[in-house]
Amino acid sequence: SPVPSLKREMRNLSEECNLEPVTVSMAYVYFEKLVLQGKLNKQNRKLCAGACVLLAAKISSDLRKHEVKHLIDKLEERFRFNRRDLIGFEFTVLVALELALYLPENQVLPHYRRLTQQS
């Protein structure tokens, strides 16, 4: 399954952009929810991953305006998609998550613990 390698990409990219582990953890939870809903396919899975990172970064206000642009550049380069598609997909992800971007701690913590123990 491509999911573990995509999550690794999400983590590496997030680290390069100095995102906090809690942000990566949130992105993972969003991503897993999409996987469970059967939203992922070969065509969109990188966009899904990218949109989850972008939304998590925005919602945890980990980034200033210019940093968001930098993150989008990085996502575009790493996952090789077009930023227009990414922004469109951000909305798709929002709808799939029913706009529930603030996550209960118990969903985020397991990922957070793993990420902080690894580093």
pTM (global) more than 0.85: no
Domains by residue range for the chain, with CATH: 1-116 (1.10.472.10)
Reading the block at residue 110, the tokens are 């397991």
Residue 68 in this model has a pLDDT that exceeds 90: no
Reading the block at residue 56, the tokens are 């998590």
Q: Indicate the angle between helix axes 21-36 and 3-16, nearest 10 degrees.
A: 150
DSSP 47: H
Q: Which is higher by pLDDT, 10 or 39?
A: 10
Predicted pLDDT at 62: 62
Residues in contact with 28: Cβ distance below 8 Å, sequence separation at least 6, in sequence order: 7, 10, 52, 111
Nearest to 44 by CA among 93, 102, 107, 116: 93
Residue 119 in this model has a pLDDT that exceeds 60: no
Predicted pLDDT at 27: 93
Cβ burial of 21 (10 Å; 0-12, 13-18, 19+) is buried
Predicted pLDDT at 118: 65
Residue type, 40: L
